[in-house]
Amino acid sequence: MAIGGYVVGISGQRWTGARRLGIKTMTGVLAAGLVVGFGAPRIASAETPAAPAPAVVQGAAPRIQSFEATRVMPLGDSITRGTGSPTVSSYRMALAERLLKGGMQINYVGSQNNGTGSDTSHEGHGGWTIDELSAELDGWLAAYRPDVVLVHAGTNNITQGDSPSATARKLSAMIDQIRTARPEAYIFVAKIITSRVPVEAARDRVYNRLIPQLVAKKNDARITVVDQSSVAGIDLHDLHHPNDFGYSKMAWNWYQAMSRVFGTSGDTGLNPYLMRNTVRCLATKVTVNGAPHHRTECRAWTLRTATVKVDGVNRQVRVWQTLREYKENGRIVRRWTGAGNLLNV
């Protein structure tokens, strides 16, 4: 049964970190997203056959102590800002909690502030292209001196008509710009999440294939590629922005890559890729008085085996479905269905 409006289940923990070598103390209630529970029993990792292995590490960057990589700059557009989430926390709060549980305390830095908790700084700018981010980047890097930069950029270049190859060249120049300003910084570069717009999704896939190639050519052990492209479909609230479940996947992917570089460990919470039941909030188109409007519908979704047509042939596949109610012949019936017109936004 549909849940009216935004229904956001928050799993929170109050935590404090010690001041150590200039790391600011962080105290607050961190939102863990809709369905990601922290402190739960350990389950299989993302490398098991049941789930994708989202993080792709370029090179073997040396491990460092947690206090040596404190200032983290999330860099990108509205996805980094958190559009699509009612808390506007993006992946940032869930990632910070995973890192803390793994033994690494961080301090987000940047000129923008959005989200819940006590540490909400970032450089996520809605609608900005790589070109626009790069024009301001030197000032941000000088002001905030990040030790780690998380780059998820290029979505707006693709949506505004740049070719994948042109976008990749701009991303390569941005990485060089970061390296020049912050020679010792660790740079994590994302393959971007996949748009719901078919033409854009095709270009996203080409762009994402180019990213590991351009990073490999730099022969820089402090640059890591992180695959966020599996955040797609009903992981998105609308055509381009994740819902909270999508953001929980992004946090997991960032964490997996960072843990391999910085040596974090321990039980840092559930792997969203292994979940079989969750809540997703999706934008849907409705007609009111003959005019189209958009509203958000939050529903429980289950990963189940169903018969679907693939190339005209019925096949048994694992798909995400939700239980809907319909009125037929004066009776209320319930059926499992896919996303349907929820994707038509």
* CB proximity list for 304: less than 8 A, separation 6 or greater: 318, 319, 321, 336
Please identify which residue in the block is written with the tokens 């270009």. 203
Domain boundaries, the chain: 3-42+52-272, 277-343
pLDDT of amino acid 308: 79
* Mean pLDDT, range 149-161, rounded to an integer: 98
* pLDDT (tens digit per residue) in 217-255: 999 999 999 999 999 999 999 999 999 999 999 999 999
Nearest to 237 by CA among 95, 75, 88: 88
- Which one has a higher pLDDT value, 13 or 287? 287
pLDDT tens-digit map of 156-207: 999 999 999 999 999 999 999 999 999 999 999 999 999 999 999 999 999 9
Q: Which CATH superfamily does the domain covering 3-42+52-272 fall into? A: SGNH hydrolase (3.40.50.1110)
Q: What is the dihedral of CA 304, 191, 6, 31, to 10 degrees?
A: 100
The CA distances from residue 345 to 209, 286, 319, 341, in Å, are 27, 9, 21, 8
**Would you say residue 38 has pLDDT above 60?**
no
Is 60 exceeded by the pLDDT of residue 57?
no
**pLDDT surpassing 60 at residue 6:** no
Residue 278 predicted with pLDDT over 70: yes
76-131 tens-digit pLDDT: 999 999 999 999 999 999 999 999 999 999 999 999 999 998 899 999 999 999 99
- pLDDT of amino acid 309: 79
41, 134, 185, 261 from 220: Cα distances, Å = 36, 20, 11, 13
- What pLDDT, on the 0 to 100 scale, is given for residue 154? 98
